[in-house]
Amino acid sequence: MNQTNEIGKLFLTGADCFILALEKHNRLQGAVGNTCRYVVELEGRLDAEAFKKKINQDTIILQLSALSIAKTGLFFKPRWQLNPVKEIEVTEHKGDVLIPDTVLQKQFTIEQPGLFSFDIVQRTNGNSCLILSWHHLLMDGYGAVLLLKRISNSAKEIMLSDEEPKVNFNFKNIREAAKAKFFIDRTSKKELSSIGSTKEYKTVNQKIKVIQFTQEETKQIENNAAVLGAKFGLSPFYLACSARGVKQILQERKVPVTNFWVPVPQNTRKKGALGPLLSNHISFLFYRIANAELNSLKECVSSLNNQMVNQIRNALPKAYGILQGFLKRVPSSFYYQLIKGPQGKSLASFLFTVAEEHPQELLEFEGLKVLNALSLPPNNFKPGLTFAFMRFNNCLQIMLLYFGEVLSEKEITNLEKQLKNELITGQDL
């Protein structure tokens, strides 16, 4: 594909259309749910003017900033629209708060260009922090890292965009899409519990807590995961600890706990791919966690491990991708009705994601050593609590994204204690 000329005519991916439907959900809740961030802490001062000049000399980045959702008719597939290119602003702040409130509350409007922004926070100790914020529709977390790689020149041939393969309307694909739909319906049937509040709010107050582990603790966590039955990787262990933390909160609120339903995004690009940057290329694994399984860390890990194996054995992520492809022509309002599940306004009990480790190629950025990096996914309200796991330099970090209206500070503190304890000891608290 000729990237520079064709980008303005590209259709959204199936995953993009799902996020477009979620956009309606977020607007109804008055929340900032579809904004993602990548935070890079740097040793030394990042010159805002020089950085601004650099990104404004890159035609690909300028075009990315000029994209918005095109107005299309009902039942037409949503597509991108390339608007006149304008200069990208870089806002400078001063202070030591992880993310300044003005950045945290930032919203993007998908019908207008400028779906990402850069903020530079100059720390009082002479260091800097670069914050890339973007609307989830524009790209996923993997795409954001590609954008940073492009800026840092650490990867010369980033592929900006690519047309998603068409999903043909044939018997085989219909059967696969139906398989995915039935699986989602079956696993998300009542009764389900959620961390989300039943109250309505006009606006909600976004907060973040970062939990950091040392290299030794991270190694211990890896060992515990294997002992507890997470045979193929760490995510079942992470998810089990997160789910048990949510159960504990609900129990302390004297809310009856039934089952949890948690969708977990999966990057569908090949490992190490240099694109596409634009759009979302994700599918999902869906976990149903029974209340009884939540009583034991070992049982919970084992159940999640088995569910993951079964879904991959039955090619469910691919089937879900086909379903997403079929749903591209469904108007967002109706799509939203399909995805808001048994809870009425919240499909998932809580949200969970594991981001890729911050890449080796980005341990230096614009000549400055990278001290830390955080990938902060969107936090949809409702449910209003997202667990994001990520490693930097072999150290695990957990980002808890929540709303003050959903969790109190005391609950967050207790959740942090429980997570740390169970991950490091591998024992039920």
Which residue lies nearer to another protein by CB, 210 or 273?
A: 273
- Least distance between another protein and beta carbon 308 (Å): 6
Binding mask 319-358 for another protein (x = CB under 8 A): -----------------------------------x-x--
How far is residue 349's CA from residue 365's CA, in Å, rounded to a whole number? Answer: 37
Nearest to 365 by CA among 65, 150, 187, 163: 150
Query: Which pair of tokens denotes residue 121?
Result: 């926070």
How far is residue 309's CA from residue 305's CA, in Å, rounded to a whole number? Answer: 6
Is residue 156 within the footprint of another protein (CB under 8 A)? Answer: no
Which residue lies nearer to another protein by CB, 129 or 225?
A: 225
CB within 8 A of 48, min separation 6: which ones? 90, 92, 120
Tell me the residue ranges of DSSP E strands in 291-420: 351-354, 364-365, 368-376, 385-392, 395-403
Tell me the residue ranges of DSSP E strands in 6-156: 35-42, 67-69, 80-82, 90-94, 116-122, 128-135
Which residue lies nearer to another protein by CB, 166 or 271?
A: 271
Is residue 221 within the footprint of another protein (CB under 8 A)? Answer: no
Among 192, 228, 285, 322, binds another protein (CB under 8 A): 285
Among 156, 166, 202, 313, binds another protein (CB under 8 A): 313
Which residue lies nearer to another protein by CB, 166 or 270?
A: 270
CB atoms within 10 A of CB 75: 10
How far is residue 358's CA from residue 311's CA, in Å, rounded to a whole number? Answer: 27
Among 60, 85, 178, 274, binds another protein (CB under 8 A): 274
Which residue lies nearer to another protein by CB, 59 or 306?
A: 306
Is residue 143 within the footprint of another protein (CB under 8 A)? Answer: no
With CB under 8 A as the contact rule, which of the stretches 16-24, 79-87, 146-154, 309-317 interacts with another protein? 309-317
| Binders in 224-263 for another protein, by CB under 8 A | 226, 230-236
Nearest-5° angle of CA 155, CA 156, CA 162?
90
- Least distance between another protein and beta carbon 267 (Å): 9
With CB under 8 A as the contact rule, which of the stretches 16-24, 82-90, 203-211, 305-313 interacts with another protein? 305-313
Identify the H or E element spanning 18: helix 14-29
CB within 8 A of 75, min separation 6: which ones? 329, 330, 331
With CB under 8 A as the contact rule, which of the stretches 55-63, 287-295, 304-312, 406-414 interacts with another protein? 304-312
Among 3, 206, 266, 397, binds another protein (CB under 8 A): 266
Which residue lies nearer to another protein by CB, 317 or 378?
A: 317
The identity of residue 394, as a single letter, is N
Identify the H or E element spanning 335: helix 332-339
Among 172, 190, 254, 270, binds another protein (CB under 8 A): 270
Q: Cβ distance 293 to 299 under 8 Å?
A: yes
Is residue 28 within the footprint of another protein (CB under 8 A)? Answer: no
Nearest to 424 by CA among 225, 210, 242: 225
By the criterion CB under 8 A, which residues form the site for another protein? 222, 226, 230-236, 266, 269-274, 285, 308-309, 312-313, 317, 354, 356
